[in-house]
Each structure stands twice: as structure tokens, then as C-alpha cells.
Amino acid sequence: MDLRYGMNPQQRSAIAAPVGPGRWPVRVLHGSPSYINMLDALNSWQLVSEASNALDRPAAASFKHVSPAGAAVAGPVDEVTAELNGVDRAAVGALTSAYLRARDADPKSSYGDFVAVSQPVDAELAELLTRLVCDGVIAPGYAPGTVAALSQKRGGRFLVMEADPAYVPPRQEAREVFGLRLTQERDEVVLSTALLDDVVCGTLPATAAEDLLLGLIVLRYTQSNSVCYLRGGATLGIGAGQQSRVDCTRLAGAKVDTWWLRRHPMVRALAFRPDVRLQDRINWQIRFIEGDLTAEEKVRLSEALSSPMPELTNEQRTSWLAALDEVAFVSDGALPFRDNVDHASRHGVRYIAEPGGSIRSAEVQDACREHQIALARTGLRLFHH
């Protein structure tokens, strides 16, 4: 298959081909994928397929630059997500709920995302996708009429791909870099709650174990170093590709704070004019939450509102953030210092899963005890590059 271009538009010669005589794991129903589109599709499909099988619920992911901005399984859609996306939360179907919850983790980053869902796209999800800014979708099938509807997006350039759920990848995988072919055995370890049996402090309820399992699956397809925060079957913040693990923890934690503060009454009181677009509303909410608006931004935000801008004080912000609780935290590699635990505890974390085995694992465990966090050691590293 000829790809639209490679990693960058100047890399005009790019192709995709099955390994050996094997069959294709995906097929293009509409559009022309680029190199990165293909990477997003292949990684995101694996994530949602594995998550759905492990948790026995429809799963969805919102991918950007070969890492998930958010991922979730089907579940309740809260008022904030429903209002923002103009849906009836009581009537939302399971598959649509999974994607709404996945995209809501970091809606700023999900602008122009690649969508992956574990079940065939139905009319409800297709209608939602026609209203959102996204570049493509991969699913194991499509209800009648949905491909035609989606094909109209982006001036006919929206990418629609179909995954083969029965496809079995080769045992060996390879890539070529600077004239060298690197080959390794595919990581086929089954991820399940059995990996969380070694709870070295605290107790792990079943709901937390499910969140931690989802986190392990998410990080398997996230560029390392990576961590994620989760609650209720959805990611709240994902940190990817940082050289320092604690920087990753802090970055993802800031996303958690933003997710939670978007639910603050003062943020919800921002009354935007009807002509202000959805993504502009999201971006203004986040800038308002960040609290460092420039003088020019204050003017522009006021012009976007139909009523005076409310004030979110530091005291209100601190009080609201302190109410977040029952959050799970997963790391794809061993936590090297207790600072990761100290920072995670500031974002409502009560459960942590990490491989263990660092020379300071005892200090990490002590930190968890101090913060009353349950710690499960998986013994399994999940780096992805």
C-alpha cells in the first residue's frame, strides 16, 4: 500500500506491506493514510482490543502522535462531558460512552486525534464523530451508512480503517534504523489482575484492580517513560515520552488537576456565546483553570463570554483539588525514587501499580505507607518505543 507520505510530508516515498505472506491486519475503507496515521491505527487498535477483552466492556482510545491522549472502557458519562459534547448522558450508548470518556481525559490534546474503538461503529458514534475534529477512526466494523457519513469529514479526507479482530501477528517484530535491522520477540505476556496479586502494602479493592489493569494496557502502547492516572474505568491523565519519570508523573498529574477543575462550578459558570466553537471553549476553560491569563487573553476571553468572567481563587482551587480521591496510578517502569509517590499523592492517588525492583523500592514502599496508598508490584516492565 502506498502511504500518503512518510513521517513528514517531505518524505514522499512511503509504503506499508504485510510481513511475509501474511494477511493484512487492517484495511482502508476510505482515505489515504500517512505513515503516522498507520502507526496510530495499529497501536490504538491493539490497545482497545486488549482492554475490551481484559475488562469485558467496549473500549475506546484517543490517539495523538503514537500515544493515547486518553483511553476508557464503557461507563457513565458525567454532566460536564455530556454538556460539552451536546449529548443526553442518560441515553448514551456503551461504545459512544467509552469514546466520550477517553476524549475527555485531555480534550485539548485530543483535537485532531485518531479514534479507536473495540466494537463496530454504530450510527450514534458516527454522528458524534462527524461533529468533532478528528483525523480518522479504526474499528472492527461499521454499521450500514456510517462509512459514507464519515467519509464526508475533512472535505473527504477523513480516514476510515477496519481492523481484523482475528488477525494474529508474527512472533518476531523488527524495525530498520540507520541501516540496521533490529529484531525482537513480540511481548505477548497476558495482562490481567493476576499481575496485581503482590500487594506489598494497603488493600486493593476490585474496582481499583480494574483501573490498574486498564492502566497497564494503556501504558503498553504509550511511548516510554510513561505513567497514567485513572478512575472509574477511564484515564484522567497520561504522561508519555519523558526522559525523567518524575517529570512524567508531574506532567500527567497536572492533566489530572485540569480534568478535575473542569468540573468546578466556577469553570462550568463560564457562559460562552453561542458562536464560540467547541474546541475554543475547551481551550479557554483550560487557560482559565491555569490561572495565568495575559492581559490580552483576559480581553479575548471576556469577548467570548456572554456574561462577566467568574473568579476562581487559589483557596477555591486548592479546596476543590483536595476532594479528588480514589485515583489509581500506573508506571510502565520501576519507580526509582519516592518523589513519584509524593507527587502522585497530591492528585488523589490511593492505588499504585509498578514493576518494583529498583534499588530504592523500600523507600517507595515506605512513601506509599505514609500516604496511605496501596502498592502492587507487577514484576513486569512495559516499555514501548
Q: Is position 225 annotated as part of the catalytic site? A: yes
Q: How far apart are CA 197 and CA 18, in angstroms?
A: 38
- Provide DSSP, 199-236: EEES---HHHHHHHHHHHHHHHTSPSSEEEEEETTEEE
Q: Is position 53 annotated as part of the catalytic site? A: no
Compute the CA torsion angle 84, 90, 96, 101 (nearest 10 deg).
50
Angle (CA) 236-216-16 rounded to 5° is: 100
**Please, are residues 358 and 336 in contact by the beta-carbon 8 Å criterion?**
yes
Instruction: Identify the sign of the CA torsion 281, 282, 285, 287.
Output: negative
**Pick from 156, 154, 109, 162: nearest CA to 135:** 154
**Pick from 330, 323, 317: nearest CA to 249:** 330
Q: How far is CA 141 from CA 14, 36, 160, 194, 236, in A?
A: 26, 22, 10, 31, 28
Diameter over CA atoms, the chain? 64
Q: For the chain, what is the total number of helices (H) and then of strands (E)?
A: 13, 14
Could you give the angle at which helices 245-261 and 278-290 cross, rounded to 10 degrees? 110
Cell numbers at 235, concatenated: 484515564
Catalytic residue among 30, 37, 64, 85: 64
Residue type present at position 23: R
Q: Give the containing element (helix H, strand E) for 364.
A: helix 361-370
CB neighbour list of residue 339: distance below 8 Å, 6 or more residues apart? 246, 249
Phi and psi, residue 84, nearest 5°? -60, -40
Catalytic residue among 153, 225, 343, 347: 225
Residue type present at position 163: A
Give catalytic residue positions: 64-65, 225, 385
